[in-house]
Amino acid sequence: MQTGVRIEAFGQGSYFLPTLEKSSTVGEVLGALGVAVQGRRVARNGHAADLGSSVMEGDEVTVVPRVQGG
């Protein structure tokens, strides 16, 4: 089984970061992969997260566009 962090960035692609630096944050992981987050919602393991949230091996980070209704 692979360890690392999975990233699903809707409209940008899917990524896998195989290893993490200690104390990595959502923002650091997304920045290292060049994933744009401006105007988008971020979740960690299915729960809303901010860019300062910690990530650990085995986590899944999802980046989705904000949905606007009318």
Q: Can you tell me the distance from the alpha carbon of 18 to that of 69, in angstroms, rounded to the nearest whole number?
A: 37
Confidence of residue 66 (pLDDT cuts 50, 70, 90): confident
Q: Can you tell me the distance from the alpha carbon of 39 to that of 21, in angstroms, rounded to the nearest whole number?
A: 26
* 44 within a domain of the structure (yes/no): yes
Task: Give the bridge partners for 42, in sequence order.
Answer: 63
Tell me which residue range forms the domain holding 25.
5-65
pLDDT at 25: 93
CATH code of the domain covering residue 47:
3.10.20.30
* 70 within a domain of the structure (yes/no): no
Query: How many structural domains is the chain composed of?
Result: 1
User: What pLDDT digit, counting tens, does each position of 11-55 carry?
Assistant: 889 999 887 767 789 999 999 889 988 889 999 999 999 999 999
